[in-house]
Amino acid sequence: MTKQDQFLYIVQTAILANGINLSSQADSEKHRHEFSATGVLGMLDEAIRASERIPENMGAYDAAHEFCSHMLGHLQESEEKASGKRLDVPYWFAR
């Protein structure tokens, strides 16, 4: 598998697991946009674009972690809460 393939595999798996997890929570309506078909399709479109921009010196897992931490709202909220600062879009896939 290429690094791009690995990245897409990791991101796709994380999105699926995330959707299952979020849909089973009591406050699932709050995050419905993350696991709806429209939300997932938009995120996958961004994942394909990001997969083509992974820096040479970055591994697939690290890129997928940065991508998911930014694109999955509740993960971004958790990381921001833990760090005490707002997360910026990672430079390598920012528009």
Q: What are the mean pLDDT values of the chain's consecutive 10-residue runs (95 residues total)?
A: 97 88 66 69 92 97 92 66 74 88
Domain edges within the chain: 3-83
pTM, 2 dp: 0.79
Distance CA 76, CA 11 (A): 15
Spell out a b/e string for 57-72, using b for 16 or more CB atoms within 10 Å of the CB, else e.
eeebeebbbbbbbbbb
